[in-house]
Amino acid sequence: MVVTQSAEKVITTLRERAAKIWEIDPEAVKWENGAAHPASPNAGQFEPLTLADTRGKGAADGWPDRRRRAAQYRRR
């Protein structure tokens, strides 16, 4: 159950990131087949965004760089 809830949280975050990239409402984004897609034609015409696509844009919107995060843990 914890794994399912964690996966749902990750998918919600990825949908929010795709919405931010596309500049649309997160409710207008669905996650299927490993990628974010517009939920309907009314949401816009966008190419699907995979996990890698959303992660690649993450540094600009708040996801810390993995190396920087690892360095923080080493300093403790």
Strands 35-38 and 49-50 turn out to be: antiparallel
pLDDT at 58: 47
- Residue carrying structure tokens 């795709």: 18
Residue 18 burial (CB < 10 Å; 0-12/13-18/19+)? buried
Structure pTM?
0.69
Spatial separation of the C-alpha atoms in residues 70 and 72, rounded to whole Å:
5
Among residues 21, 25, 17, 20, the alpha carbon closest in space to that of 43 is found at 25
pLDDT tens-place string over residues 9-60: 999 999 999 999 999 999 999 999 999 999 999 998 999 999 888 875 544 5
pLDDT at 69: 55
